[in-house]
Amino acid sequence: MTSFTNKYVLNLLRNLPRLSISNLRNNDGAVKKNKRGRAQHGGDKHGHGNKGSKARQNFMRPGYETGNTPFYMKFPREQYYKDHHVKRQYPPLSLTTLQKMIDLNRIDISKPIDLSVLCNTGLYNINPEDKHFGVNLIDEGADNFKAKINVEVQWASEPTIAAIERNGGVITTSFFDVNSLFILINPKKFFQRGEAIPRRMIPPDDAILYYSSAANRGYLADPEKISWERFVLAQKYGYKLPKIEDDPDYDMLVSRKDQRQIFYGLEPGWVVNLKDKVILKPIDPQLKEFYRS
Amino acid sequence: MAVRILFKNAMLRSGISLRLNSLIYKRDSSYRSSPIAQDSSCYAKYEVSSSPEEWKFVERLLPLTTIPTPSDRKDLPSGWQPQTATFGKYPYFVHRTRNHMLPVYLKVSMRGTRRITQINNVDGNIWMLEEAIKKYLMRVYGDKKIIATKVHEVCGHLCIHGDHVSRVKEWLLKKGL
Protein backbone atom coordinates (compact mmCIF):
# COMPACT_ATOMS: atom_id res chain seq x y z
CA MET A 1 0.00 0.00 0.00
CA THR A 2 2.66 2.48 1.05
CA SER A 3 4.94 1.61 -1.82
CA PHE A 4 2.12 2.17 -4.23
CA THR A 5 1.38 5.67 -2.82
CA ASN A 6 5.05 6.65 -2.85
CA LYS A 7 5.33 5.52 -6.39
CA TYR A 8 2.30 7.63 -7.35
CA VAL A 9 3.54 10.78 -5.60
CA LEU A 10 7.04 10.43 -6.96
CA ASN A 11 5.63 10.12 -10.43
CA LEU A 12 3.62 13.32 -9.92
CA LEU A 13 6.69 15.20 -8.66
CA ARG A 14 8.67 14.08 -11.65
CA ASN A 15 6.08 15.65 -13.99
CA LEU A 16 5.42 18.87 -12.06
CA PRO A 17 7.52 22.01 -12.83
CA ARG A 18 10.53 22.68 -10.60
CA LEU A 19 10.18 25.09 -7.62
CA SER A 20 11.95 28.34 -8.64
CA ILE A 21 11.93 32.08 -8.11
CA SER A 22 9.50 32.44 -10.98
CA ASN A 23 6.72 30.44 -9.38
CA LEU A 24 7.10 31.47 -5.73
CA ARG A 25 4.15 33.37 -4.28
CA ASN A 26 3.01 34.55 -0.88
CA ASN A 27 0.47 32.78 1.25
CA ASP A 28 -3.02 34.10 1.05
CA GLY A 29 -3.52 37.08 3.38
CA ALA A 30 0.21 37.49 4.08
CA VAL A 31 0.43 40.87 2.40
CA LYS A 32 -2.07 43.65 3.30
CA LYS A 33 -3.13 45.96 0.54
CA ASN A 34 -2.57 49.70 1.02
CA LYS A 35 -5.46 51.84 2.24
CA ARG A 36 -7.49 53.58 -0.34
CA GLY A 37 -6.33 57.20 -0.77
CA ARG A 38 -9.20 59.53 -0.14
CA ALA A 39 -10.34 62.42 -2.32
CA GLN A 40 -9.61 63.23 -5.96
CA HIS A 41 -5.83 62.93 -5.91
CA GLY A 42 -5.61 59.93 -3.64
CA GLY A 43 -5.04 62.08 -0.59
CA ASP A 44 -1.68 63.52 -1.64
CA LYS A 45 -2.56 67.17 -2.36
CA HIS A 46 -4.04 68.16 1.01
CA GLY A 47 -6.67 70.35 -0.55
CA HIS A 48 -4.20 72.61 -2.31
CA GLY A 49 -4.37 71.67 -6.01
CA ASN A 50 -1.34 70.83 -8.11
CA LYS A 51 1.95 72.70 -7.53
CA GLY A 52 2.35 76.47 -7.81
CA SER A 53 2.09 79.25 -5.28
CA LYS A 54 -1.28 78.09 -4.01
CA ALA A 55 0.21 74.72 -3.05
CA ARG A 56 3.42 76.14 -1.58
CA GLN A 57 2.89 79.71 -0.34
CA ASN A 58 -0.18 78.88 1.69
CA PHE A 59 -0.34 79.74 5.35
CA MET A 60 -2.33 77.18 7.21
CA ARG A 61 -4.00 78.02 10.48
CA PRO A 62 -1.80 77.48 13.54
CA GLY A 63 -1.81 73.88 14.66
CA TYR A 64 -3.12 72.41 11.38
CA GLU A 65 -1.12 69.38 10.24
CA THR A 66 -2.57 68.77 6.74
CA GLY A 67 -4.97 66.01 7.60
CA ASN A 68 -3.23 64.48 10.62
CA THR A 69 -5.01 64.71 13.91
CA PRO A 70 -3.44 67.94 15.19
CA PHE A 71 -1.25 67.73 18.28
CA TYR A 72 -3.57 69.97 20.26
CA MET A 73 -6.48 67.61 19.63
CA LYS A 74 -4.66 64.36 20.36
CA PHE A 75 -4.81 64.45 24.14
CA PRO A 76 -7.57 65.35 26.60
CA ARG A 77 -6.99 68.73 28.20
CA GLU A 78 -8.70 71.45 30.22
CA GLN A 79 -10.69 73.68 27.89
CA TYR A 80 -9.62 77.13 29.03
CA TYR A 81 -11.57 78.96 26.34
CA LYS A 82 -14.67 76.76 26.57
CA ASP A 83 -17.88 78.66 25.76
CA HIS A 84 -15.91 81.83 25.04
CA HIS A 85 -18.38 82.70 22.30
CA VAL A 86 -21.31 82.89 24.71
CA LYS A 87 -19.57 84.62 27.60
CA ARG A 88 -20.06 88.32 28.29
CA GLN A 89 -17.30 90.47 26.81
CA TYR A 90 -16.14 93.84 28.14
CA PRO A 91 -13.93 95.65 25.59
CA PRO A 92 -11.15 97.46 27.49
CA LEU A 93 -10.58 101.18 27.84
CA SER A 94 -7.39 102.24 29.60
CA LEU A 95 -7.05 105.09 32.06
CA THR A 96 -4.43 106.57 29.68
CA THR A 97 -7.03 106.83 26.93
CA LEU A 98 -9.62 108.21 29.31
CA GLN A 99 -7.16 110.85 30.55
CA LYS A 100 -6.34 111.77 26.96
CA MET A 101 -10.04 112.16 26.14
CA ILE A 102 -10.42 114.45 29.17
CA ASP A 103 -7.32 116.50 28.26
CA LEU A 104 -8.54 117.02 24.72
CA ASN A 105 -11.99 118.18 25.94
CA ARG A 106 -13.70 115.18 24.39
CA ILE A 107 -15.31 114.41 27.75
CA ASP A 108 -16.82 116.97 30.10
CA ILE A 109 -15.83 115.96 33.64
CA SER A 110 -18.24 118.44 35.23
CA LYS A 111 -20.94 115.86 34.46
CA PRO A 112 -21.06 112.15 35.30
CA ILE A 113 -19.43 109.86 32.73
CA ASP A 114 -21.22 106.73 31.57
CA LEU A 115 -21.15 104.46 28.55
CA SER A 116 -23.18 106.85 26.38
CA VAL A 117 -20.69 109.67 27.04
CA LEU A 118 -17.80 107.38 26.05
CA CYS A 119 -19.57 106.19 22.89
CA ASN A 120 -20.58 109.75 21.95
CA THR A 121 -16.90 110.74 21.74
CA GLY A 122 -16.58 108.51 18.69
CA LEU A 123 -13.29 107.21 20.09
CA TYR A 124 -14.72 104.19 21.90
CA ASN A 125 -17.46 101.87 20.78
CA ILE A 126 -19.01 98.57 21.70
CA ASN A 127 -21.20 96.21 19.73
CA PRO A 128 -23.78 94.34 21.83
CA GLU A 129 -24.29 91.91 18.93
CA ASP A 130 -20.77 90.61 19.62
CA LYS A 131 -21.68 89.87 23.26
CA HIS A 132 -20.16 93.17 24.35
CA PHE A 133 -21.78 94.14 27.64
CA GLY A 134 -19.99 97.41 28.30
CA VAL A 135 -16.66 98.94 29.13
CA ASN A 136 -13.87 97.41 31.17
CA LEU A 137 -11.82 100.27 32.60
CA ILE A 138 -8.29 98.87 32.88
CA ASP A 139 -5.53 100.18 35.12
CA GLU A 140 -2.98 101.06 32.40
CA GLY A 141 -1.83 104.61 33.13
CA ALA A 142 -3.20 104.56 36.69
CA ASP A 143 -0.15 106.45 38.03
CA ASN A 144 -0.65 109.35 35.61
CA PHE A 145 -4.39 109.59 36.08
CA LYS A 146 -5.23 112.99 37.59
CA ALA A 147 -8.91 113.69 36.87
CA LYS A 148 -11.70 113.90 39.44
CA ILE A 149 -14.60 112.10 37.80
CA ASN A 150 -17.86 110.35 38.57
CA VAL A 151 -17.69 107.39 36.22
CA GLU A 152 -20.04 104.47 35.66
CA VAL A 153 -18.48 101.42 34.01
CA GLN A 154 -19.44 97.79 33.60
CA TRP A 155 -16.20 96.23 34.86
CA ALA A 156 -13.28 97.63 36.86
CA SER A 157 -10.25 96.17 38.61
CA GLU A 158 -9.02 97.14 42.06
CA PRO A 159 -6.11 99.39 40.91
CA THR A 160 -8.52 101.25 38.63
CA ILE A 161 -10.91 101.89 41.49
CA ALA A 162 -7.99 103.05 43.64
CA ALA A 163 -6.69 105.41 40.91
CA ILE A 164 -10.07 107.11 40.56
CA GLU A 165 -10.82 107.36 44.29
CA ARG A 166 -7.33 108.70 45.04
CA ASN A 167 -8.18 111.76 42.93
CA GLY A 168 -11.44 112.35 44.78
CA GLY A 169 -13.58 110.65 42.16
CA VAL A 170 -16.35 108.09 42.34
CA ILE A 171 -16.70 104.87 40.36
CA THR A 172 -19.71 102.56 40.00
CA THR A 173 -19.97 99.27 38.19
CA SER A 174 -23.42 98.68 36.78
CA PHE A 175 -25.06 96.15 34.53
CA PHE A 176 -27.14 96.86 31.43
CA ASP A 177 -29.12 94.24 29.55
CA VAL A 178 -28.74 94.01 25.78
CA ASN A 179 -31.83 96.07 24.98
CA SER A 180 -30.72 98.85 27.33
CA LEU A 181 -27.19 98.73 25.90
CA PHE A 182 -28.43 99.38 22.36
CA ILE A 183 -30.26 102.44 23.72
CA LEU A 184 -27.34 103.60 25.86
CA ILE A 185 -24.67 103.48 23.15
CA ASN A 186 -26.69 105.65 20.76
CA PRO A 187 -29.26 107.72 22.68
CA LYS A 188 -29.97 110.10 19.78
CA LYS A 189 -31.03 107.26 17.51
CA PHE A 190 -33.31 105.92 20.23
CA PHE A 191 -34.97 109.30 20.89
CA GLN A 192 -35.63 109.72 17.17
CA ARG A 193 -37.60 106.47 17.20
CA GLY A 194 -40.13 108.09 19.53
CA GLU A 195 -40.39 105.15 21.90
CA ALA A 196 -40.77 105.17 25.64
CA ILE A 197 -37.54 104.62 27.60
CA PRO A 198 -37.74 101.03 28.87
CA ARG A 199 -36.82 99.73 32.32
CA ARG A 200 -33.33 98.44 32.90
CA MET A 201 -33.37 94.71 33.68
CA ILE A 202 -31.58 93.19 36.66
CA PRO A 203 -28.32 91.26 36.05
CA PRO A 204 -28.37 87.51 35.30
CA ASP A 205 -27.60 84.94 38.01
CA ASP A 206 -23.87 84.70 37.31
CA ALA A 207 -23.38 88.48 37.36
CA ILE A 208 -25.51 89.45 40.35
CA LEU A 209 -22.75 88.67 42.84
CA TYR A 210 -20.30 91.01 41.10
CA TYR A 211 -22.75 93.91 40.86
CA SER A 212 -23.92 93.58 44.48
CA SER A 213 -20.40 93.54 45.89
CA ALA A 214 -19.17 96.70 47.62
CA ALA A 215 -15.54 95.83 46.81
CA ASN A 216 -16.40 96.09 43.11
CA ARG A 217 -18.44 99.28 43.76
CA GLY A 218 -21.48 97.49 42.37
CA TYR A 219 -24.65 99.49 41.81
CA LEU A 220 -26.69 97.03 43.88
CA ALA A 221 -24.33 97.20 46.88
CA ASP A 222 -25.15 98.86 50.20
CA PRO A 223 -23.85 102.50 50.12
CA GLU A 224 -22.59 102.25 53.70
CA LYS A 225 -20.54 99.17 52.83
CA ILE A 226 -19.15 101.00 49.79
CA SER A 227 -17.94 103.91 51.93
CA TRP A 228 -16.26 101.38 54.23
CA GLU A 229 -14.60 99.67 51.24
CA ARG A 230 -13.42 103.07 49.98
CA PHE A 231 -11.64 103.58 53.30
CA VAL A 232 -10.19 100.03 53.22
CA LEU A 233 -8.81 100.53 49.71
CA ALA A 234 -7.24 103.87 50.68
CA GLN A 235 -5.46 102.10 53.56
CA LYS A 236 -4.32 99.28 51.28
CA TYR A 237 -2.91 101.53 48.54
CA GLY A 238 -1.65 104.17 50.99
CA TYR A 239 -3.37 107.37 49.94
CA LYS A 240 -5.48 109.88 51.82
CA LEU A 241 -9.09 109.55 50.82
CA PRO A 242 -10.44 113.00 49.79
CA LYS A 243 -13.71 113.90 51.50
CA ILE A 244 -16.58 114.01 49.02
CA GLU A 245 -18.81 115.92 51.47
CA ASP A 246 -16.50 118.95 51.38
CA ASP A 247 -16.07 118.89 47.63
CA PRO A 248 -17.45 121.82 45.57
CA ASP A 249 -18.70 119.29 42.99
CA TYR A 250 -20.63 117.31 45.61
CA ASP A 251 -23.86 117.15 43.56
CA MET A 252 -22.06 115.80 40.53
CA LEU A 253 -20.12 113.22 42.52
CA VAL A 254 -23.14 111.76 44.29
CA SER A 255 -25.43 111.60 41.25
CA ARG A 256 -26.27 107.99 40.49
CA LYS A 257 -28.72 106.12 38.35
CA ASP A 258 -31.60 104.12 39.78
CA GLN A 259 -31.52 100.33 39.33
CA ARG A 260 -34.21 100.70 36.66
CA GLN A 261 -32.81 103.83 35.01
CA ILE A 262 -30.84 103.82 31.76
CA PHE A 263 -30.06 107.57 31.60
CA TYR A 264 -29.26 110.10 34.29
CA GLY A 265 -32.33 112.18 35.16
CA LEU A 266 -34.68 110.45 32.70
CA GLU A 267 -37.10 107.92 34.10
CA PRO A 268 -38.40 104.78 32.37
CA GLY A 269 -41.68 105.35 30.57
CA TRP A 270 -40.83 108.85 29.38
CA VAL A 271 -40.81 109.69 25.67
CA VAL A 272 -38.31 112.30 24.49
CA ASN A 273 -39.40 114.48 21.59
CA LEU A 274 -36.26 115.94 20.05
CA LYS A 275 -38.16 118.05 17.51
CA ASP A 276 -40.35 120.00 19.95
CA LYS A 277 -37.83 119.70 22.81
CA VAL A 278 -40.40 118.31 25.22
CA ILE A 279 -40.71 115.18 27.33
CA LEU A 280 -43.95 113.17 27.40
CA LYS A 281 -44.68 111.44 30.70
CA PRO A 282 -47.38 108.81 31.26
CA ILE A 283 -50.03 109.68 33.83
CA ASP A 284 -51.92 106.38 33.76
CA PRO A 285 -51.46 104.86 37.26
CA GLN A 286 -51.13 101.32 35.85
CA LEU A 287 -48.40 102.38 33.44
CA LYS A 288 -46.62 104.29 36.19
CA GLU A 289 -46.75 101.22 38.42
CA PHE A 290 -45.38 99.07 35.60
CA TYR A 291 -42.39 101.33 34.93
CA ARG A 292 -41.66 101.76 38.63
CA SER A 293 -41.53 98.00 39.34
CA MET B 1 -49.82 86.10 3.83
CA ALA B 2 -51.59 83.01 2.54
CA VAL B 3 -54.62 83.83 4.63
CA ARG B 4 -54.72 87.28 3.08
CA ILE B 5 -54.58 85.96 -0.49
CA LEU B 6 -57.41 83.52 0.25
CA PHE B 7 -59.40 86.30 1.80
CA LYS B 8 -58.75 88.49 -1.25
CA ASN B 9 -59.91 85.78 -3.67
CA ALA B 10 -63.06 85.20 -1.66
CA MET B 11 -63.80 88.92 -1.73
CA LEU B 12 -63.19 89.18 -5.49
CA ARG B 13 -65.62 86.36 -6.09
CA SER B 14 -68.25 87.97 -3.93
CA GLY B 15 -67.65 91.29 -5.73
CA ILE B 16 -66.63 93.58 -2.88
CA SER B 17 -65.37 97.01 -3.91
CA LEU B 18 -61.73 97.50 -4.99
CA ARG B 19 -61.18 100.06 -2.29
CA LEU B 20 -61.27 97.32 0.32
CA ASN B 21 -59.00 95.19 -1.83
CA SER B 22 -56.27 97.82 -1.76
CA LEU B 23 -56.17 97.44 2.01
CA ILE B 24 -55.36 93.76 1.66
CA TYR B 25 -52.11 94.49 -0.16
CA LYS B 26 -50.27 95.23 3.03
CA ARG B 27 -46.65 94.42 3.65
CA ASP B 28 -45.77 94.13 7.31
CA SER B 29 -42.66 95.76 8.76
CA SER B 30 -42.71 98.50 6.17
CA TYR B 31 -42.74 102.21 6.85
CA ARG B 32 -45.37 102.93 4.20
CA SER B 33 -47.81 100.33 5.51
CA SER B 34 -47.32 101.25 9.16
CA PRO B 35 -50.48 102.61 10.80
CA ILE B 36 -50.82 106.38 10.68
CA ALA B 37 -50.77 108.02 14.08
CA GLN B 38 -54.28 108.71 15.26
CA ASP B 39 -55.70 111.27 17.60
CA SER B 40 -53.96 111.34 20.99
CA SER B 41 -57.20 110.30 22.72
CA CYS B 42 -56.70 106.79 21.27
CA TYR B 43 -53.47 106.30 23.24
CA ALA B 44 -52.43 106.20 26.87
CA LYS B 45 -52.78 109.53 28.64
CA TYR B 46 -49.67 111.60 29.11
CA GLU B 47 -48.51 115.00 30.28
CA VAL B 48 -46.11 117.22 28.36
CA SER B 49 -43.15 118.58 30.24
CA SER B 50 -41.01 121.33 28.74
CA SER B 51 -38.94 121.92 31.86
CA PRO B 52 -35.44 123.17 30.94
CA GLU B 53 -34.01 121.38 33.99
CA GLU B 54 -35.14 118.02 32.60
CA TRP B 55 -34.11 118.89 29.05
CA LYS B 56 -30.52 119.35 30.25
CA PHE B 57 -30.36 115.61 30.87
CA VAL B 58 -31.38 115.00 27.24
CA GLU B 59 -28.93 117.53 25.84
CA ARG B 60 -25.94 115.94 27.51
CA LEU B 61 -26.81 112.67 25.74
CA LEU B 62 -26.60 114.19 22.27
CA PRO B 63 -23.15 113.82 20.67
CA LEU B 64 -21.02 116.84 19.80
CA THR B 65 -21.27 117.83 16.14
CA THR B 66 -17.67 119.07 15.95
CA ILE B 67 -14.41 118.05 17.55
CA PRO B 68 -13.67 120.50 20.39
CA THR B 69 -10.45 122.53 20.39
CA PRO B 70 -7.97 121.28 22.99
CA SER B 71 -6.39 123.51 25.61
CA ASP B 72 -3.00 125.19 25.14
CA ARG B 73 -1.61 123.68 28.33
CA LYS B 74 1.69 121.87 27.91
CA ASP B 75 1.81 119.92 31.19
CA LEU B 76 -1.21 117.70 30.63
CA PRO B 77 -1.19 114.42 32.57
CA SER B 78 -1.79 112.33 29.46
CA GLY B 79 1.43 113.61 27.84
CA TRP B 80 -0.36 115.14 24.89
CA GLN B 81 1.22 118.36 23.64
CA PRO B 82 -0.29 121.06 21.42
CA GLN B 83 1.30 122.07 18.13
CA THR B 84 3.46 125.11 18.90
CA ALA B 85 5.34 125.50 15.60
CA THR B 86 3.62 127.79 13.13
CA PHE B 87 3.35 127.12 9.41
CA GLY B 88 6.47 128.50 7.79
CA LYS B 89 8.87 128.02 10.70
CA TYR B 90 10.47 125.05 8.89
CA PRO B 91 10.60 124.40 5.13
CA TYR B 92 8.34 121.43 5.87
CA PHE B 93 5.25 121.08 8.05
CA VAL B 94 3.34 118.12 9.49
CA HIS B 95 -0.32 118.89 10.11
CA ARG B 96 -2.10 117.27 13.04
CA THR B 97 -5.01 114.92 12.34
CA ARG B 98 -8.61 116.02 12.87
CA ASN B 99 -8.38 114.48 16.35
CA HIS B 100 -5.32 116.67 17.14
CA MET B 101 -2.96 113.67 17.09
CA LEU B 102 0.37 113.19 15.34
CA PRO B 103 -0.15 111.50 11.97
CA VAL B 104 2.51 108.83 12.55
CA TYR B 105 1.43 105.23 12.02
CA LEU B 106 2.93 101.76 12.00
CA LYS B 107 1.97 99.75 8.94
CA VAL B 108 2.40 96.02 9.45
CA SER B 109 2.18 93.75 6.40
CA MET B 110 3.52 90.46 5.00
CA ARG B 111 2.15 88.50 7.95
CA GLY B 112 3.83 90.75 10.47
CA THR B 113 7.31 90.55 8.90
CA ARG B 114 7.36 94.01 7.27
CA ARG B 115 7.03 97.04 9.51
CA ILE B 116 6.88 100.51 8.03
CA THR B 117 6.59 103.82 9.85
CA GLN B 118 4.39 106.19 7.89
CA ILE B 119 4.11 109.95 8.37
CA ASN B 120 1.06 111.52 6.75
CA ASN B 121 -0.12 115.12 6.25
CA VAL B 122 3.34 116.37 5.27
CA ASP B 123 3.27 119.81 3.72
CA GLY B 124 6.07 121.88 2.15
CA ASN B 125 9.45 120.42 1.23
CA ILE B 126 9.02 116.73 2.06
CA TRP B 127 12.57 115.93 0.90
CA MET B 128 14.05 118.14 3.60
CA LEU B 129 11.90 116.42 6.21
CA GLU B 130 13.14 113.06 4.96
CA GLU B 131 16.74 114.23 5.25
CA ALA B 132 16.21 115.62 8.76
CA ILE B 133 14.48 112.49 10.07
CA LYS B 134 17.09 110.26 8.47
CA LYS B 135 19.83 112.28 10.13
CA TYR B 136 18.12 112.04 13.51
CA LEU B 137 17.57 108.28 13.25
CA MET B 138 21.19 107.77 12.14
CA ARG B 139 22.32 109.61 15.23
CA VAL B 140 20.06 107.43 17.42
CA TYR B 141 20.93 104.05 15.93
CA GLY B 142 24.47 104.68 14.68
CA ASP B 143 25.81 104.96 11.15
CA LYS B 144 25.80 101.21 10.55
CA LYS B 145 22.01 100.95 10.51
CA ILE B 146 20.48 101.56 7.10
CA ILE B 147 17.41 103.82 7.27
CA ALA B 148 15.53 103.12 4.06
CA THR B 149 12.87 105.69 3.18
CA LYS B 150 10.19 106.22 0.57
CA VAL B 151 8.71 109.61 -0.29
CA HIS B 152 5.30 110.15 -1.85
CA GLU B 153 5.47 113.84 -2.67
CA VAL B 154 1.99 114.21 -4.13
CA CYS B 155 0.11 112.63 -1.21
CA GLY B 156 2.54 113.99 1.37
CA HIS B 157 3.49 110.58 2.78
CA LEU B 158 6.90 109.66 4.14
CA CYS B 159 7.59 105.97 4.83
CA ILE B 160 10.53 104.70 6.86
CA HIS B 161 11.47 101.03 6.92
CA GLY B 162 11.17 99.60 10.42
CA ASP B 163 9.27 100.51 13.55
CA HIS B 164 10.42 104.02 14.54
CA VAL B 165 7.02 105.39 15.56
CA SER B 166 7.94 106.48 19.08
CA ARG B 167 11.28 107.98 17.92
CA VAL B 168 9.63 109.95 15.11
CA LYS B 169 6.85 111.17 17.42
CA GLU B 170 9.45 112.24 19.97
CA TRP B 171 11.34 114.17 17.30
CA LEU B 172 8.21 115.86 15.96
CA LEU B 173 7.14 116.95 19.45
CA LYS B 174 10.62 118.30 20.14
CA LYS B 175 10.30 120.41 17.00
CA GLY B 176 6.89 121.63 18.17
CA LEU B 177 5.08 120.03 15.27
| pLDDT in 10s for each residue of chain B, 177 residues | 444 444 444 444 444 444 445 555 666 677 777 778 888 888 889 999 999 999 999 999 999 999 999 988 889 999 999 999 999 999 999 999 999 999 999 999 988 999 999 999 999 999 999 999 999 999 999 888 889 999 999 999 999 999 999 999 999 999 999
Q: Kindly state whether residue B127 falls inside one of the protein's structural domains.
A: yes
Least confident of A39-48, A162-171, A238-247: A39-48
Q: Is residue B129 one of the residues assigned to a domain?
A: yes
| Dihedrals phi, psi of B131, to nearest 5 degrees | -60, -45
Range of the domain at A135: 92-264
Contacts of A241 (CB under 8 A, 6+ apart): A165, A166, A230, A231, A234
**What is the pTM for the complete model shown?**
0.79
Range A124-139 average pLDDT = 96
Over chain A, what is the mean pLDDT? 92
Q: Identify the residue with better confidence: A82 or A99.
A: A99
Which is nearest to A288 in space by CA: A268, A264, A258?
A268
Give yes or no for A209 touching B (CB within 8 A). Answer: no
Residue A166: inside a domain: yes
CA angle B166, B172, B177 (to 5 degrees): 140
The pLDDT value given to residue B153: 95
How many CB pairs lie under 8 A apart between chains A and B? 91
Range of the structural domain that residue B161 is part of: 104-175
Residues in B touching A116 (Cβ below 8 Å): 61
Determine whether the interchain pair A103/B50 forms a contact, defined as Cβ–Cβ distance below 8 Å: no
Q: Which of residues A51 and B3 earns the better pLDDT score? A: A51
**Beta carbons of A263 and B61 less than 8 Å apart:** yes
Q: Inform me whether the C-beta atom of residue A255 falls under 8 Å from chain B C-beta atoms.
A: no
What CATH number has the domain bearing residue B145? 3.30.780.10
What's the confidence (pLDDT) of residue B35? 76
**Rounded CA separation A151/B86 (Å):** 37
Q: Using CB atoms, which residue from B56, B63, B77 is nearest to A146?
A: B77
Rounded Cα distance, A140 and A30, in Å = 70
Residue B164 lies in a domain: yes
CA distance B41 to chain A (A): 13
Give the integer Cα–Cα distance in Å for A138 and A147: 15
Distance from CA of A249 to the nearest CA of B (A): 17
pLDDT for res A33: 79
Q: Determine the residue among A61, A94, A103, A191 to mutate to test chain B binding: the one whose Cβ has the most chain B Cβ atoms within 10 Å.
A: A103
Number of domains in chain A: 1
Mean pLDDT of A111-135: 96
SS3 readout for A156-193: ECHHHHHHHHHCCCEEEECCCCHHHHHHHHCHHHHHHH
Which of B104, B108, B129, B128 lies closest to B118, judged by CA? B104
Q: What average pLDDT does the segment A106-125 reach? A: 96
Mean of the pLDDT values across residues A238-253?
Answer: 94
Total domains present in chain B: 1
Task: Look at A50-59, A175-184, A205-214, B91-100 and tell me which has the smallest mean pLDDT.
Answer: A50-59
The answer to whether A281 contacts B47, with C-beta atoms less than 8 Å apart, is yes
Element (H, E) at A94: strand A92-94
Interface of B with A (CB under 8 A): 44-51, 54-58, 60-64, 67-71, 76-80, 99-100, 111
CA–CA gap between residue B80 and residue A105 (Å, rounded): 12
Helix axes A158-166, A223-237, angle to 10 degrees: 90
Q: For residues A151 and A194, is the Cβ–Cβ distance under 8 A?
A: no
pLDDT for B5: 45
Residue A34 inside a domain? The answer is no
In a domain, B10, yes or no: no
The length of chain B in residues reads 177
Looking at residue B31, what is its pLDDT? 73
Look at residue A50 and tell me if it is in a domain.
no
Q: Is residue B3 part of a domain?
A: no
Integer Cα distance of B127 and A221 in angstroms: 62
Give the pairing type, strands A136-138 and A155-156.
parallel
Name the closest residue on chain B to residue A266, using Cα atoms: B57
**Residue B119 domain-assigned (yes or no):** yes
Identify whether A200 is part of a domain. yes
> Nearest-CA neighbor of A151 among A97, A187, A114?
A114
Chain B residues whose beta carbon lies within 8 Å of the beta carbon of residue A145: 77
Best to test chain A binding among B31, B36, B58, B102 (most A CBs inside 10 Å):
B58
pLDDT above 60 for A65: yes
Question: A43 in a domain, yes or no?
Answer: no
How confident is the model at residue A32, as a pLDDT? 84
Residue A285 lies in a domain: no
Residue B116, beta-bridge partner list: B107, B162
Contact at 8 Å (CB) between A179 and A198?
A: yes
